[in-house]
């Protein structure tokens, strides 16, 4: 029985399931003749794309052998560029997807309240209970002694 070959570019492993590559495997493909990139938790063989890359081949070469997601995102690549990636997909990256953007620092200092901003209000906050207590005292004892 003869073996049925898959479509071009699909290895047996790829047909059986997704191939998972480690960073050290990706690091073996960092030359102009054999260039892989790791972007969005996936591995792409972009050797044939190097010469076509509008940003130049050298910038891709400097981003091989590492997770290039951040560099790829920083450029602000178009959707067309993202879709182009599919063409060069060879497998999944063992390390999973990297966060495209560093999480922005949350603002921990909350805005001061009106009481903190206006000193008179702060003073009133202290004085008001004293005034109310004083008035209550005067009404109670004043009323008691008046009659
Ligand atoms: C390997 C997969 C990549 C693909 C398929 C790809 C595709 C493209 C495409 C189609 C463009 C034209 C502009 C656009 O449509 O956004 C572009 C421009 C560019 N790319 Fe990539 N790129 C890849 C990786 C990278 C990486 C890793 C870097 C590293 C920083 C990079 C840096 C650039 C730069 C600097 C430009 C030029 C932007 C400009 O002229 O404004 N690319 N790329």
Domain with 128, as residue range(s), is: 114-146
Residue 134 lies in a domain: yes
**Ligand 1 centre and the CA of 55: distance in Å?**
5
CB-defined site of ligand 1, < 6 Å: 37, 44, 46, 49, 53-55, 59-60, 63, 68, 71-72, 75, 77-78, 80-81, 84-85
Number of independent structural domains in the chain: 2
pLDDT in tens, 84-117: 999 999 999 998 887 655 444 554 555 666 667 6
Reading the block at residue 16, the tokens are 């059986």
pTM: 0.64
Strands 30-31 and 20-21 turn out to be unpaired
Reading the block at residue 67, the tokens are 């997770």
Q: 125 with 86, same domain?
A: no
Atom of ligand 1 nearest to the CA of 81: 10
């Amino acid at each position: 029985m003869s073996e049925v070959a898959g479509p071009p570019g699909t290895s047996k492993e790829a047909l059986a399931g997704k191939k998972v590559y480690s960073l050290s495997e990706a690091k073996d493909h960092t030359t102009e003749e054999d260039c892989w990139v790791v972007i969005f938790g996936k591995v792409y063989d972009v050797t044939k794309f190097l010469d076509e890359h509008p940003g130049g081949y050298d910038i891709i070469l400097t981003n091989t052998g590492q997770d290039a997601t951040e560099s790829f995102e920083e450029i602000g690549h178009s959707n067309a560029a993202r879709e182009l990636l599919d063409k060069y997909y060879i497998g999944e990256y063992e390390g999973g997807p990297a966060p495209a953007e560093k999480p922005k620092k949350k603002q921990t200092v909350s805005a001061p309240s009106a009481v903190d901003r206006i000193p008179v209000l702060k003073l009133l906050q202290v004085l008001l209970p004293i005034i109310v207590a004083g008035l209550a005292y005067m009404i109670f004892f004043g009323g008691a002694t008046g009659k």
